[in-house]
């Protein structure tokens, strides 16, 4: 692995721990020799993780849709910024560039990106690991929901189990490296 895609928010969140965890994760990425692929914005936890990687001497690739770049929130100091036509191209390009995926606490966009990665894995479109940073139980409700999709017969546990979970920044990269990759078919 050389590049990790981190899905995170364009907002700071309501507690300083979210920005701080983004900065810490950026430092951990560089310390372990990984480049960052992310959504290309200069604001929120996205901006915090990019700035942290850059300040630590790491490599950052941002992928941002033209419509968001037009709002003047694109990060101008990245090693590489790719402006794409739309959100669909953004996700496809980030998936192409990255060797693994981490989802930090975030909102609807973060969830949508994470679910697309999981869906593509379940369909066999990629064999790359995914991890969830469940900081202070942020994703506990989501994890319960995912368990229920199995109980109700809509998901296979093997597919849900491909999402490694860590409650700490220090543990999320080791969890990602240990995440199982399933070859079990969706159908």
Size of the chain, expressed as the number of residues it contains: 187
Give the Cα separation of 55 and 45 in Å (integer). Answer: 15
Q: Where is 90: in which H helix or E strand?
A: helix 87-97
Output the pLDDT for position 186. Answer: 67
Output the pLDDT for position 62. Answer: 98
Output the pLDDT for position 181. Answer: 85
Q: Are strands 130-133 and 163-166 parallel, antiparallel or unpaired?
A: parallel
Give the Cα separation of 108 and 159 in Å (integer). Answer: 21
Question: Comparing C-alpha atoms, which of 49, 101, 104, 98 is closest to residue 78?
Answer: 49
Render each residue's pLDDT in the chain as its tens digit; 187 residues: 899 999 999 999 999 999 999 999 999 999 999 999 999 999 999 999 999 999 999 999 999 999 999 998 999 999 999 999 999 999 999 999 999 999 999 999 999 999 999 999 988 889 999 999 999 999 999 999 999 999 999 999 999 999 999 999 999 999 999 998 877 676 6
CB atoms within 10 A of CB 151: 9
Give the Cα separation of 1 and 36 in Å (integer). Answer: 11
């Amino acid at each position: 692995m050389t590049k990790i895609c981190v899905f995170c928010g364009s907002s700071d969140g309501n507690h300083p721990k979210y920005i701080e965890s983004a900065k810490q994760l950026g430092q951990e990425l560089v310390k372990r020799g990984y480049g960052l692929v992310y959504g290309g914005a200069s604001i929120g936890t996205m901006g915090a993780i990019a700035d942290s990687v850059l300040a630590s001497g790491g490599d950052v690739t941002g992928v941002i849709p033209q419509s968001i770049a037009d709002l003047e929130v694109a990060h101008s100091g990245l090693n590489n910024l790719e402006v794409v036509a739309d959100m669909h191209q953004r996700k496809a390009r980030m998936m192409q560039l990255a060797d693994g995926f981490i989802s930090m606490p975030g909102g609807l966009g973060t969830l949508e990106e994470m679910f697309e990665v999981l869906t593509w894995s379940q369909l066999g479109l990629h064999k790359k690991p995914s991890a969830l940073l469940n900081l202070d139980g942020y994703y506990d409700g989501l994890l319960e929901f995912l368990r229920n999709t199995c109980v109700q017969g809509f998901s296979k546990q093997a597919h849900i189990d491909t999402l490694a979970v860590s409650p700490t920044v220090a543990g999320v990269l080791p969890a990602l490296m240990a995440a199982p990759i399933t070859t079990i078919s969706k159908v």
